[in-house]
Amino acid sequence: MSTTYVVTGVTRGIGWAFLENLSQNPENTVIALVRNKAGTEKRVVEELGSPKNVHVVEADLTNYASIEGRAKKVIALGSGLADTHLTAKYRLDLGSPYSMSKAALNMLVAKYHASYADQGVLFLSISPGLVDTGHQSQLTEEGMLNLQRMLASFAEYAPGFKMFTPEESVGYMMKVVADATVEKYGGTAVSHHGDDKWL
């Protein structure tokens, strides 16, 4: 059965890993929504060899009318850092704006679920886990110290946790997405395991 996926943020990191993963199945149609169509098309050709099931579309996501009624599964990238119990118990005081925006995203997912569940549209927030997207190399000395402190808290929460590559993370998340239904996950925020084990 053919499935169409719309992926945003495909220029790097997790978005690109989703594009790679999904394009490997010729039954999938992958629509990459981007701001820079030419640059993305060039990368697709160079790295994926022009798969026929990938379509790069320049799009304005602020224009809801242009995308309304097209999706059956809407997956948002959340974060375990939006979990208030995890934050309080392990004293995760860093990244406040990021954590707050992800908590707001989770509420948006719940509200959209409340509005669209009866129409069979799944809204789900899924955390990718801890993913090495290459941003660590750009941190200042203070940023590195803060990261180490946060990683120590993560080790207390989940001894033996590991950082994923974007490809590994997407592999885990795709298993959850494939299993997701309105009844099972609608309006929730889950980890890459499909539960609340964030690492």
Catalytically active residues are: 79, 98, 102
Could you give the CA distance from residue 148 to residue 16 in angstroms, rounded to a whole number? 27
3-state secondary structure of 134: coil
3-state secondary structure of 140: coil
CA distances in angstroms from 159 to 132, 151, 153, 182, 194, listed in the order given: 18, 10, 10, 33, 19
- The alpha carbon of 102 is separated from its chain's Cα centroid by a whole number of angstroms, namely 11
Q: Which two tokens stand for residue 26?
A: 């010729």
Cβ neighbours around 31 below 10 Å, total: 19
Helix 166-179 to helix 13-23 angle (10° resolution) is 60
Work out the angle at residue 58's Cα, subtended by the Cα atoms of residues 56 and 63, and round it to the nearest 5 degrees. Answer: 130
Taking the alpha carbons of 98, 60, 127, 109 in that order, is the dihedral positive or negative?
positive
